[in-house]
Structure 1
Amino acid sequence: MRARSIPSIELDSYQRAARLVLAHHLVTATFPDRSALATVRRWTTELREDLLATFGYRLEVTETTARLFTVADRLDAGAGTSTHTGRPFDRRRYAYLALAIAALGRGAGQITLSELAEHVASEASRVDGVELDTERAADRDAFVDAVTWLGVRGAITLADGDAGRWASDPDSGEALYDVDRAVVHA
């Protein structure tokens, strides 16, 4: 293990980097904080070797992201993601998240929330048991939860507008997002 050869004066920094990637499998320029990616990038070589040797995890680091690929050895119902309010994602939110990531991967550098909702609704209609009806408040709320998850991680950045207002009334509210393709890809 490379951690054993790290000088004790730098061990705190290495341990912080390890905790970051273990707690947040996706680290970006803004998530979980602005210093996290630099900390992880500093220890990339050591982390790659130690995480692979210890857990069998693969770490990929680019200029804009660090992504930890883990190996699930058992199903853990509590290991999923949650909304910004702490409520666990349900099947619908996961579906909207996956479809939004796919749409953002094919789209332009900017997209409105209503355009993204149209893309997701179109693709959702092709999947049995999944539907996004922007006329239903519950569907809009679930969709905005998925979009907010992407925003927190830096995949999209709000350029103008308000997603909450769109969720309340799509006819009077709108939001415009800048898309970070590297984070979307990660």
Structure 2
Amino acid sequence: MTHPFTALDMIAGEEQTLAAWPRLGRYLGRVSWFSALGEPLAPATVSLARDYLAALGLPEGDVTLTESPHDAADVLTDIEAAAPLRAQEDQLRQDLLTGATARMADPERLFDAVEIIKGLAAVTAGRAIEEDGVFPPGTDPQLLDAAVGAAVAATVDAALLLTGERGPAHPFALRFRLFERGRWPLALIGASFHLY
């Protein structure tokens, strides 16, 4: 079976649009997934979160610390309140996908690469949960699955940014940086952006 790094290298060799993806794939193992959950928010982290909200056109949002897995689960269950932000992110994602496929010689290779990136993100984020003890014992497995899913989604969005001329101020770039800081951006509920 072909190693994911090798497979990603092969695709990037065929598609110049994906030239930066192998580097991202190898970097994922060095991301400090979920290492700062529940810890007090550093000023730089709050500033980054506010930049993310501003990039989405929501400069008035307050950054709120989520301190425990139970509180995080409560935030995630408020799906209806979080829907507007998710809809906005879905539109940004669709725009990136449309632009990326238009630049591909074979658009199917983009989706092959996405599956590889998803797998690498799931493995590295899952390892942080299983081996590094970033969640307390007894945490609901559904919340752990949601955490891995969020890491995977953020990674795919960051990868899509690399296919075009999108700078570090793009909302998806800023959100990925929050994950790099060991945080889990949960949702915007009302005027509060919940950051675990």
**Which structure's CA Rg is the greater one?**
1
| TM-score of Structure 1 vs Structure 2, range by shorter chain | under 0.3
After TM superposition, the score normalised by the length of structure 2 is 0.27
Which structure is richer in relative contact order (CA contacts within 8 A, separation 6 or more)? 2
After TM superposition, the score normalised by the length of structure 1 is 0.28
Task: Select the structure that is richer in helix.
Answer: 2
